[in-house]
Chains A and B, each alone.
With several copies, the nearest count.
Chain A
Amino acid sequence: MPKVTIREERCKACGLCIHYCPKGVLGPSEKFNAKGYHPTEVKHPEKCIGCTICAQVCPDQVFEVYR
């Protein structure tokens, strides 16, 4: 099953990945990261198709994608 991992300390909560993920896999977390942002988290891992779109639009190199 395709899968993404998130290096949450790099995330700046810009929302681009959430917006462009074709499957609605991602969403903002409640907690703060060390930079003071609410980082993206994987809300629906089962939906991920490993398309790498999140990784591509992420300006902060947060994602690793596995297929």
Chain B
Amino acid sequence: MSTETMKKVYSIPESLRNRPHHYCPGCGHGIVLSIVGELVDELGVRDRAVGIAPVGCSVFLYEYYDFDCVQAAHGRAPAVATGLKRANPDLFVISYQGDGDLAAIGTAEIIHAANRSENFSTIFINNAIYGMTGGQMAPTTLLGQKSQTTPYGRNPNTDGFPVRVCELLNSLEGPYYLERVCVATPQDRVKAKKAIKKAFTYQLEGKGFSLVEVLSQCPTNWGMSVLDSVKWVKEVMAQTFPLGVFRDKGQQK
């Protein structure tokens, strides 16, 4: 049977450009990229979407999304998103940040955007490392984890504790929806997509600030094989960062 007469049940989303990206083999960023593309297609918002590319491994998002994009300074995506959305509330704003970006240099920006409940959606890629710069400690690096700047393992006495972003933001009144997911297995991927869809839908409904934290494998900087890395997400990382819904004002009613 030739492909012409068959139904295409999966192909690269229309909201993504048909060009290869530079993520490493097996990187969680690539999977989330597909999810965002699929959802922008499904929700039919491509022509009012604005993607924000942060500084980090996802810095080239603007080359992958096939819709309007802006590249934000390191950590400042929430401020840029705020400016965009306040300037034009009709835009559908997808902010995207890594853990160094969001939970270190950009701590103030994410907290205050969440506290003002700015009406945009944040996808937060927690890979427990600074990926792009070659594997330094992130705020989310696990205790004992080695990195370029914790060569002897992260020590809570000198380097602090892994920052749990959903829990931190959940102490604020502003956020509308907060969930932590991962993309380690096909089943996790389904849940992650559902969560991001919810975040997007809430934005379309004008509900305010949503954030979906994705535990995301970085085989390169974890120094693991891809298969080990997805296992590590489930078995190790999720111990420190439990999966689940932290806040869903849409369900409270």
Touching chains A and B, CB distance < 8 Å = yes
Residues of chain A at the chain B interface (Cβ within 8 Å): 1, 3, 5, 9-10, 12-16, 19-20, 35, 37, 50, 52-53, 55-61, 63-67
Cβ contacts under 8 Å, B190 to chain A: 56
Whether A60 pairs with B21 at a CB distance below 8 angstroms is yes
Q: Which of B177-195 contact A (CB under 8 A)?
A: 183, 185-186, 189-190
Whether A57 pairs with B189 at a CB distance below 8 angstroms is yes
Mask, B13-29, CB within 8 Å of A = 1, is: 00010001101111111
Binds A, one of B3-11, B43-51, B102-110: B3-11
In the complex with contacts A1-B1, A10-B20, A56-B8 CB distance below 8 A: no
Residues of chain B at the chain A interface (Cβ within 8 Å): 1, 3, 6-12, 16, 20-21, 23-31, 33-34, 183, 185-186, 189-190, 219, 226-227, 230
Bound Cα distance A5, B12 (Å): 12
Task: Name the 9 nearest CB pairs between A and B, nearest first.
Answer: A59-B30, A14-B26, A12-B25, A66-B6, A14-B25, A65-B10, A55-B10, A64-B11, A52-B10
Residue of A nearest to B6 (CB): A66
Bound Cα distance A3, B6 (Å): 9
